Structure 1
């Protein structure tokens, strides 16, 4: 066999700061992945309700390490960093941590003014800012993960305007709101600069891998996933299988349902309805810690007609319930159920949450036809199987599981002037295989879904925990 073909056109790198790891890919003009890596980091906190990162590790050192791993043997023209939202940390003038990096759902972001109809965790980042300003009064800056990473790479703390929009109402759609910042105990000078569109925020500093490459303002991880997934037609459902499981059903017009978010699609004339849930990797990883590893061969042998039912609210729930106080429940487990049955049931619970989102979307006239699954969780075939069986829809699995990093690599091409805009990214969309729902499981799965909904309704009806 001959040597592998070289890259087609200029090479760009996308980096994704996720909940449990930093992923990075280097891609050529055709979207072919030339190098990929994953740098794991912990997520945790010292108190109940905490969800935080070590800023110096997850947002700085791991980003540089990931870039080094994928760029060391390539000529990289541009880099872009995606990350989960919202996130915020206090840093000194050199971008070093003076606090933990607070992540979505952390108790320090709780606010009584949260409006679940708004398309984002409205007010959470502003609450983070108030807590950080009091906890780290000597801080030079209060920056999201993208800004910390961009500062580490270029010396400039900046984010893109799309990420800034998730800071509502601290961001007023034109810039940082001085009055809101003052209420939180700081000034807008402590917040990162905002880059418009695909504008570069600088170049990678000398001494770092890919030195001299342009660096874009960054993006939201879910947007990076979306632009390269190929879920663009009405009836498509994008399910991002990450630490957070995100469901977006593609629709026309602007469907609205209580509990779900509606946001614009990047495709003209399309909208997305759905939102994020804690039923993804956050829950599934917790189940694995509780049970220990269960080999796939044991999961294959489970009687899929006889499983208990989980409520996967290991850290409360986001859409469609918007309740921070909900906890995990296991219902219907008996002596004959072992770790394999409980693990399969956990995957099924993730599928049930997607179905719950879609059932609600159907009340607004949305008609789901297929799922496009992306994210690292697509490597867990029982997760993908659960999505198909729980929803009754075929699941097309993307060819590149690091979708947020791949999308960021495409956005880096926009920063380098190699693409007209992000909508052209759909040409990078590729599917590896399709998983059809198993008709033999329909009756049992439907029965358990009804029980899941009964348990969920009862949990929501109970008074909030104090």
Structure 2
């Protein structure tokens, strides 16, 4: 019986899942890798360590005795590394959390060129974008910039080491700040800003593109057939939406893992004159739009490990002892600077409104609420652009903390669904692979694969309380963000 493997190359770990053609999970494997921060504001990874982790989980996920129909790929966005003509890494991969290029983002924000680049590429003008990172390398690592054959993401690096070909899918290309999503090619203005020729980037391809040749010996090392198809796949954010089959108008996906994001799907980009959201092209006629926050589970991790020195479970228990709104205590979770909705790398976290009556429980609840308030601000922007959110699909590590998901329902005022499968990006890669290989006629045919684990219904009374809290949060954010 055939099966597929979906590989998700995340920020801190690689995960591979094996799924039968009938949608049954057969195996799930993961391997972690570190993030290096050699200087403040830097965030890098060793590409060979990440690639080795990917090969490890692929090998473990393979099911001997079953027919492997194909492997489909997902990966985190905004990373970039320099490679030589042989495909060897010349640098570490600079990941999304790195903000060394913030000056270039500021330069773009204040220029007509930047506005044009955002309009054509859909990538917000921020240090997360490879556009700004490559410009920084050009000016600060001139010898490296000169030596580099190409600048690629970690997924492109892996694809090359599997197949010998350089290619980037539309959604990852859309997240670079260099790709014209309407024209489906590298955008001239962005290339000029970065000082690049298009041949120094990979060829953009459809996420359904299939590689059918492997580099000698690689497939054998993994214990799979040398003619196993490799489907290009897409970015983790886009595939997290696909993995939930959140494709109808009004359906949003909220992911809270290390970072956090709110995303909606539609047939066209959502133009925003203020450049507050991303518009990433998953496939022709299919956009995923929304905003990503630097501070999701990472904010809770800091709070647990460094501030309170208590386990996650204790935070969840204490948070339930405090009232909605945490007794007026607000937390602005900008610990690592912020992307959406304020796009300010210099922003820092704030506890606001502390009184002598506040106890541990209030702080615990305020942290959970602050992350949710920040995401709901993104949802409000999406609503202003014409996409009202009527249902939320939740995924990521925060779904293991029911009180946090209930806060999401109560603040947003809409139902929040959690699926049985917690690996939405990897599962989305599997679904995309099934369609690319003709196993699925369309994605609707996969709907029976998805089972709802938990439905969180908003409490009307708590929602009214949170309406006032959210207004206070928005006022505080508007007044405090410019101070950084």
- The TM-score with structure 1 as length reference comes to 0.85
Closer/same/farther in 2, CA of residues 352 and 435 from structure 1, 3 Å limit:
same
What is the alpha-carbon distance in structure 2 between the residues aligned to residue 269 and residue 219 of structure 1?
15
What is the alpha-carbon distance in structure 2 between the residues aligned to residue 368 and residue 183 of structure 1?
36
Q: Per-residue deviation at 1:338?
A: 5.5
Aligned match of 2:259: 244
Q: Per-residue deviation at 1:159?
A: 1.8
Other structure's SS at 1:30 match: coil
Name the stretch that deviates more: 140-149 or 176-185: 176-185
Q: Where do 1:219-298 residues align within 5 Å?
A: 219-249=234-264, 258=274, 260-261=276-277, 263=279, 273-290=289-306, 291-297=308-314
Other structure's SS at 1:208 match: helix
Other structure's SS at 2:5 match: strand
Aligned match of 1:65: 56
Aligned length: 454
Other structure's SS at 1:405 match: helix
Name the stretch that deviates more: 352-361 or 288-297: 288-297
Name the stretch that deviates more: 144-153 or 162-171: 162-171
Aligned match of 1:194: 204
- 2:135 is aligned, of 125, 130, 140, to 130
What is the alpha-carbon distance in structure 2 between the residues aligned to residue 380 and residue 203 of structure 1?
43
What is the alpha-carbon distance in structure 2 between the residues aligned to residue 295 and residue 234 of structure 1?
35
- 1:374 is aligned, of 395, 399, 405, to 395
Q: Per-residue deviation at 1:249?
A: 4.3
Q: Per-residue deviation at 1:398?
A: 1.7
Q: Per-residue deviation at 1:324?
A: 1.7
What is the alpha-carbon distance in structure 2 between the residues aligned to residue 269 and residue 160 of structure 1?
15
Aligned match of 1:5: none
Name the stretch that deviates more: 221-230 or 408-417: 408-417
| 2:458 maps to 1:437 | yes
- 1:169 is aligned, of 170, 178, 188, to 178
Closer/same/farther in 2, CA of residues 233 and 63 from structure 1, 3 Å limit:
same
Q: Per-residue deviation at 1:38?
A: 2.3
Offset from partner CA, 1:140-178 (integer Å, 9 cap, x none): 332112101112322323222332233343557343467
Other structure's SS at 1:87 match: coil
* Structure 1 residues without counterparts, runs of 5 or longer: 1-8
Other structure's SS at 1:217 match: strand
What is the alpha-carbon distance in structure 2 between the residues aligned to residue 119 and residue 458 of structure 1?
27
* Structure 2 residues without counterparts, runs of 5 or longer: 109-113
| 1:159–1:218 CA contact under 8 A, matched in 2 | no
What is the alpha-carbon distance in structure 1 between the residues aligned to residue 6 and residue 400 of structure 2?
20
Higher-helix-fraction structure: 2
Other structure's SS at 2:417 match: strand
What is the alpha-carbon distance in structure 2 between the residues aligned to residue 152 and residue 268 of structure 1?
27
Q: Where do 1:272-421 residues align within 5 Å?
A: 273-290=289-306, 291-297=308-314, 299-302=316-319, 303-305=321-323, 306=326, 308-334=329-355, 337=358, 340-420=361-441
Cα RMSD after superposing both structures: 3.2
Aligned match of 1:3: none
Aligned match of 1:25: 17
- The TM-score with structure 2 as length reference comes to 0.82
Name the stretch that deviates more: 303-312 or 263-272: 263-272
